[in-house]
Structure 1
Amino acid sequence: MRKPFFPALFHWLYEVVFGPLEPGMDREHKRWLDFFILESSAGTVGYTMTTGVFMTGYALYLGASDYLAGLIASVPMLMNGFQLLGAALCEKSKHKKGLLQGLLLAYRVPLGCTIFIPLLFPRSWWVPVFVGMYLLGFLCSALFQPGYNAWIVALTSPRTRGTFYAHREAAYQAVGMIFGMVVGVVVDALGQGYGAFFVPYCLCLVFCLVNYLFIRPIRYPEPTAPAAEPGEAEKRREKIGTLQRVKRNPRVLQFAAIWILWNGGYWMAFAYFSVFMVSTLGLSYSFMNIINVVQMGSLVVAVRYWGRFGDHQGWVKSLTFTCMIIIVGFAVRGVVAPSMTWLLIPISIVAGAGMGGINVGTLNMIAYLAHPEDQSFCYALHTGVAGLAGFLGSVAGGSLTDLFANVYIGPFSGIHLMFFVSGLVMLSALIVFRVWSRRVPKPA
C-alpha cells in the first residue's frame, strides 16, 4: 500500500538532509546525529555572518588596511595552535559536555558582539578591540574543536562515518549559503555602512543561542573503561605524556608535516580572496555572495559523493582528487582581472567541488591513522600544526602581494601572481602526499 503523498515527501526530504537510519542503529542514537547536523547548521550561520566578505567589509569600515584584513581572516588558523591545550582540557575534565557547551558560547558570543564596538569605544580603539575580540572568539573555538570532533567520532562507526560527515557538511554548507546570499543583498541595500553590518552580526548572536539549544540534547558518551581500581597497564596509560603520544602516532605526524606545506599554500591565497574581491575587483556584496552560493552549491552536491567515494575507495585516493581540483581552482583565479569577473563563476564551481572533500577527507584520514586512544590528541595536533602553517601562509601571501605591488602584466597585478604561487606550493604538497601515501597500509 502506497504512503500518502505528504508523509512520503517528508520522509524523503528527511533522508536527503539527515540520511537514513543505518542497520543496527537505534532511533535515539540517530536522533543525536540529527542534532549534530542541526547544531552545525545553526553554527555555520553565525560563522558565515562574522567571517569572509562580511568580516572583511566590517574590518575595512572600522579602519583596517587590506593587509590587516587578510591577516584577520587567518586568525582562526593561528588560534588552532591551541587545540592541543583544548584536547588536554577535555580529557582531564570530569564534565566534558558542560565544558564544550561553555566553550561554544565563549566562541560565538564575542564574534557577534564586535558589532557594538563603535557604540562603546572611541574610533582609535576600534581596530585593536576588534582584533582582540576576534582572537578571543577563535581561541575558544580552538579549545572547543578537539573535544567536539572526538564527541562526533565516539557516536559514529567507521563504516558510516564518511557518509554522516558528508550529510552534515552538505546541510550546514547549504544553510550557510542561503543565509549568506540573502544577507549579502540586505547589506548592499542598506549601503554597506554600520547599519548594514548590524544585520549579519546580530544574526550571529541569534544563531549562537539556536546552536546552543540544538547541542544540549546530544548525549556525551561515557568512557568504556571500568570504574574499578586501575591495574598497572591502566596506570601506565594514564601517565603517558605528549612526547609518548607523538611517538606512537608517527603516521599522523608525517601527515601533519605534509599538511604544513598544503595549508601554507592554501591560506597564502585563501586569506586574501575576500580582500581581492572587495578592493581589487570592486565587487558588490550581492555578487560576492552569488559567487559564494555557486561555490557552496557545488560543495553541497559534491560532498555527498566524496563521503561515499572515501568510504569505498579509501581516503588517500579521495584526498588526492579533491586536492587536484582545488589547485586548479586556485591557480585559475590568478588570471581574473576586473574586466573578467564572470570567470569567478566557473572557478567557484570547480573550487567548491574540490573543497567538498577536503574536510571530510582530512578528518577521516586522522581517524584512520591515529591510535584509538589518541584520536582527540591527534585531531588537535594535526589542526594546530596546520593552523600555524595557514597563518604563516597568509603572512607570506600578504608579503608577496606587497613585494609584487608595483608589478603589472597587462590587467594583472601582484595579487594575481601570488595566487599562482600558492597553486605551485599546493601542487608540491600533493606530490609529497602521493609519494608518502604509497607506504601507508590499506585498511582491512
Structure 2
Amino acid sequence: MQQAVQPVRQKKRSISRNGMIAATMEGFPAIIVMLLLGGPYLTGFLLYLGASSTQIGIVLAIPNLANVLQILSAILIQKFQNRKIGLLLFGGMHRIIWTSTGLIPFFVPHEWWVVVYIFVTMAAFASNAFGIVFYTSLMADMVPAKVRGRYFGLRNSLIWALGCVVLVIGGQILDRTPEPTGFHILYVICAVCSVLNVLAFTRYPNLPFAPSEQQDMRRMIVQPFLHRPFLKATLFIALWLLLQGLSIPFYNYVMLDLMQISYSWISFITMSQNVAMMASYYVWGTLNMRFSTRTLLFWTMPLIATSSLLWGLTSVASAIPVLFLIHILLGIGTGGFNQLLFNFVVGDTPKSERPMFIAVFYGITGLAGFIGPVLGGLVYKHLAYTPAWVRTFGIAVTVGIVLVLIAALLGRRALRENQG
C-alpha cells in the first residue's frame, strides 16, 4: 500500500514546486509593468496627457474602487472553475489593456486624452479585479501552508530587487530623453513585458477547484459576514487602511510642495523605502514560519504608526536624515503588512468558500483604501491657510497617534487567534 501511495505524493510535490517557480518567474515582468505604468512615473504621464489634480486623484483611486467587482468574480468562479484559464484571460486582459494606454496620444484627439485614459484604465482594473480572485484562490491551493510565509517572503524579495533596478532605469530614461519619447520607451518595455507576463501565466498548474458548499448564491455571499473572526479582522484592517490613507499617501506631496525637497533627494528617499521593503519580505516570511499571520500583522502596525509620528522630528532636526528614517520604517512595516494580508486571506479562510471571502475582504478594504486618501486630500485642502507646521508634520503626527491608539485598543482583540 505504501509503495502505491508514494508516487502520488511525489507528483503533488512536483506540481506545487513547479507552480511556485512559475509564479516567481511571472512576477518579474509583472513588477516591471506595475512600476513603470503605475509607479512614480504615472503622475508624470498623466500630467503629459494634460490631467488636472482631480483627474489624477480619480486615476489613483480606480484600483481600489475596482476591487468591489471581486464579489462578482467570486460568483463567476463557481460557474467557471478553470482557474488557470480565468487567470490567463483576466490577468492577460489587465496587462494588455493597461499597456494600451500608451497608444492614446497616437490615435485619440488631444482633448480626449485624459478621459479616454480614465475609461481604459477602469476597464484594465475591472479585469484585474476578476483575475485577483482566480489568482489568489489558485495560489492558496498551490503553495503548501507550511512553506507559504517563507516562499512569499523570498518571492517578493526577488521581485522587488528587480523593481528597485527598474525604478532607477525608468528615471534615467525619462531624465535623458524628451518627455514624449521617454514615455514611449517605457511603454514599449511594458508591451514586451505584458506579452511575457501572459506567456508566464500559461506555466501555472490547473489544480482542481473545490466549489462552495452553499447551493444558494445568497447564502454563499453572506458566509464571510457570518464568520465572526474573519469579519472582525477585516473591519479592523479596513479602518486601519482608511486612517493611514489620511496621511501616508501624501508624504510625497508634503516633501515636494511644502518642504521643497528636490526630486533627486525624493528619489533616494523612495529608493530607501523600497530597499527596506524588499529586505523585510524575507524576514517577515521567515517569522511567519514561527508566528501566526494575525500576530505578525499586529506587529507591523507600530512600525507604520511610528513612521507617521517621526514627522514631528522634522521640526527640530535636519529633515533629510529624518525622512530617510521615516521611509525605511514605512518600507519595513508596509512590506510586512501587505505580504501578511495576502497570507491572511489565503490561509485564514475556509477552502470551499475562499473565493467569496477573498472578494469580500478586498471589496471592504478597497473601499476603505479609496475613502482614506479622498478624505486626506480634503483635510490638506481645508487646512491650506493654517500655519505651515500643521500640514508639514501636524497631520502626520496626529494620524500616527490615532493609529497607535486603535492598534492598542482594538488591534489585539480584532486579530486575536481562535475567536469565538
Q: TM-score, normalised by structure 2?
A: 0.88
Residue matched to 1:309? 287
Indicate whether 1:223 and 2:202 are aligned.
no
Residue matched to 2:3? none
Q: Which amino acid aligns with 1:219?
A: P
User: Kindly tell me: are residues 93 and 198 of structure 1, through their superposed partners in 2, closer, same or farther at Cα, counting changes over 3 Å?
Assistant: same
User: Is the 1:181–1:290 contact (alpha carbons within 8 Å) kept by the matching residues of 2?
Assistant: no
User: Kindly tell me: are residues 50 and 332 of structure 1, through their superposed partners in 2, closer, same or farther at Cα, counting changes over 3 Å?
Assistant: farther
- Return the match for 2:241 from 238, 263, 274: 263
Q: Which amino acid aligns with 2:203?
A: P
Percentage of pairs with the same residue: 21
Q: SS at 1:26's partner residue?
A: helix
User: Kindly tell me: are residues 281 and 63 of structure 1, through their superposed partners in 2, closer, same or farther at Cα, counting changes over 3 Å?
Assistant: farther
User: Kindly tell me: are residues 422 and 212 of structure 1, through their superposed partners in 2, closer, same or farther at Cα, counting changes over 3 Å?
Assistant: farther
Please state how far the C-alpha of 1:400 moved relative to its aligned partner.
0.7
Residue matched to 1:404? 383
Q: Which amino acid aligns with 1:207?
A: C
In structure 2, how many angstroms separate the alpha carbons of the residues matched to 1:224 and 1:80?
23
Residue matched to 1:50? 37
User: Kindly tell me: are residues 432 and 32 of structure 1, through their superposed partners in 2, closer, same or farther at Cα, counting changes over 3 Å?
Assistant: same
Residue matched to 1:171? 158
Indicate whether 1:238 and 2:207 are aligned.
no
Aligned length: 408
Residue matched to 1:33? 20
User: Is the 1:52–1:73 contact (alpha carbons within 8 Å) kept by the matching residues of 2?
Assistant: no
User: Is the 2:82–2:209 contact (alpha carbons within 8 Å) kept by the matching residues of 1?
Assistant: no
Residue matched to 1:19? none
Residue matched to 1:376? 355
Please state how far the C-alpha of 1:174 moved relative to its aligned partner.
1.4
User: Kindly tell me: are residues 97 and 213 of structure 1, through their superposed partners in 2, closer, same or farther at Cα, counting changes over 3 Å?
Assistant: same
- Return the match for 1:353 from 312, 332, 342: 332
Cα RMSD (Å)? 2.7
User: Is the 2:272–2:327 contact (alpha carbons within 8 Å) kept by the matching residues of 1?
Assistant: yes
Q: SS at 1:223's partner residue?
A: coil
User: Kindly tell me: are residues 219 and 202 of structure 1, through their superposed partners in 2, closer, same or farther at Cα, counting changes over 3 Å?
Assistant: same
User: Kindly tell me: are residues 295 and 133 of structure 1, through their superposed partners in 2, closer, same or farther at Cα, counting changes over 3 Å?
Assistant: same
Please state how far the C-alpha of 1:178 moved relative to its aligned partner.
1.1
> 5+ unaligned residues in a row in structure 1: which ranges?
1-22, 226-233
User: Kindly tell me: are residues 418 and 114 of structure 1, through their superposed partners in 2, closer, same or farther at Cα, counting changes over 3 Å?
Assistant: farther
User: Is the 2:70–2:129 contact (alpha carbons within 8 Å) kept by the matching residues of 1?
Assistant: yes
Off by >6 Å, runs of 4+ in structure 1 = none
Please state how far the C-alpha of 1:250 moved relative to its aligned partner.
2.0
User: Kindly tell me: are residues 283 and 70 of structure 1, through their superposed partners in 2, closer, same or farther at Cα, counting changes over 3 Å?
Assistant: farther
In structure 2, how many angstroms separate the alpha carbons of the residues matched to 1:130 and 1:359?
28
Q: Which amino acid aligns with 1:198?
A: H
User: Kindly tell me: are residues 62 and 244 of structure 1, through their superposed partners in 2, closer, same or farther at Cα, counting changes over 3 Å?
Assistant: closer
Residue matched to 1:116? 103
Please state how far the C-alpha of 1:362 moved relative to its aligned partner.
1.6
Q: SS at 2:288's partner residue?
A: helix
In structure 1, how many angstroms separate the alpha carbons of the residues matched to 2:174 and 2:260?
15
- Return the match for 1:146 from 133, 144, 155: 133
Please state how far the C-alpha of 1:221 moved relative to its aligned partner.
0.4
> 5+ unaligned residues in a row in structure 2: which ranges?
1-9
Please state how far the C-alpha of 1:66 moved relative to its aligned partner.
3.2
In structure 2, how many angstroms separate the alpha carbons of the residues matched to 1:429 and 1:269?
16
User: Is the 1:183–1:200 contact (alpha carbons within 8 Å) kept by the matching residues of 2?
Assistant: yes
Q: TM-score, normalised by structure 1?
A: 0.83
In structure 2, how many angstroms separate the alpha carbons of the residues matched to 1:134 and 1:283?
31
- Return the match for 2:270 from 281, 292, 311: 292
User: Is the 1:163–1:307 contact (alpha carbons within 8 Å) kept by the matching residues of 2?
Assistant: yes
